[in-house]
Amino acid sequence: MEASAFAPAHITGLVLPDERSSDPLHAGSKGIGFSIQEGVTTKVKAEQGTSGEEVEVWINGNPAPDAKVSREAAKIILRRAGDKKCNLTIEHLVQVPIGVGFGTSGAAALSLTLAVNKALELGLSTVEAAQTAHVAEVICRTGLGTVLAELHGGFEVRVSPGAPGFGKLIQIPLNKEYSVVALTFGALSTGDMLDALEQRREAYSLAENLLVSFMQDRSVENFLQVSNKFSRFLALNSRLQRVLTEADDAGFTCGVALFGETVFTLVKPEETELVERTFKRLATNGSKVLTTRISDQGARVL
């Protein structure tokens, strides 16, 4: 039994975590972000097991025994298989850098649960399968609202926290085309960043005000301003601050992908070359420049 699914990568420019609920289905975040054309494709092969469920995870052709979110998502959705004892081989193909703010853990978990649901003919709705991915992310503290956003795709504002079916978002139509350009330096631990954010109550107050400001003007330009202000307040590190300042000097506004050491912007296609040139000048060894587009398509079975 085999099946494949895809979930888009996602960039969050403003986030308000809400982990007050003890039920992972109701925990999550509010925030603003967008899905991109690249993402995670997951192929699942299920074989009848005898002694219980064994899960083997591969990422880009390499064994990944420490892929905790994928293992947790597999464990949760296999509970829905009833008496079926299955061994799973999970192969993730990840098209973007991992751990730098592109929502790859959420995309991996979401594509995995959709594929397992199809392969084992569990009969779950798309929303129900996606809920298991959200729960896995909350338990592992690798994301709080990414799965909800990636399920729908597009440019969105999450207005209430929770898993798909519980949390709510508003998709924002774009009246023109934008290029997404991102400069990635490295990884930041989402769990560590959430802990740090929880200790800075003034950050929540600012984020709430910025979200209100965005709801009054739901433009891409205002989104970038909101993300820029929040990123500067967080002062994640001097390297990111320098890129934000250099971008301002070059005439375009950037935000920081939460949570990762990645700066991004959205510009008209004819402005893409200027941004790429600026980012490449600021790049260091190991950093990458990614140019893509917003994807209006959310996660789906292939």
* pLDDT tens digits, one per residue of 48-66: 876 667 899 999 999 999 9
pLDDT at 203: 85
ω into 233 cis (within 30 of 0): no
* pLDDT tens digits, one per residue of 140-195: 999 999 999 999 999 999 999 999 999 999 999 998 999 999 999 988 777 667 76
Ordered by start, the domain boundaries in the chain are 1-302
* pLDDT tens digits, one per residue of 114-132: 999 999 999 999 999 999 9
Q: Which among 254, 257, 264 has a CA at the least distance from the CA of 229?
A: 254
State whether the Cα torsion 56-59-63-65 is positive or negative: negative
pTM (whole model) above 0.85: yes
CA distance readout (Å), 112 to 33, 39, 58, 60, 302 = 22, 13, 12, 14, 12
In angstroms, rounded to a whole number, what is the distance separating the alpha carbons of residues 7 and 69? Answer: 15
pLDDT at 265: 99
CATH of the domain spanning 1-302: 3.30.230.120
* pLDDT tens digits, one per residue of 187-208: 877 766 776 676 667 888 999 9
Write a three-state SS string for 152-163: HCCEEEEEECCC
In the block, which residue shows the tokens 């994640």? 236
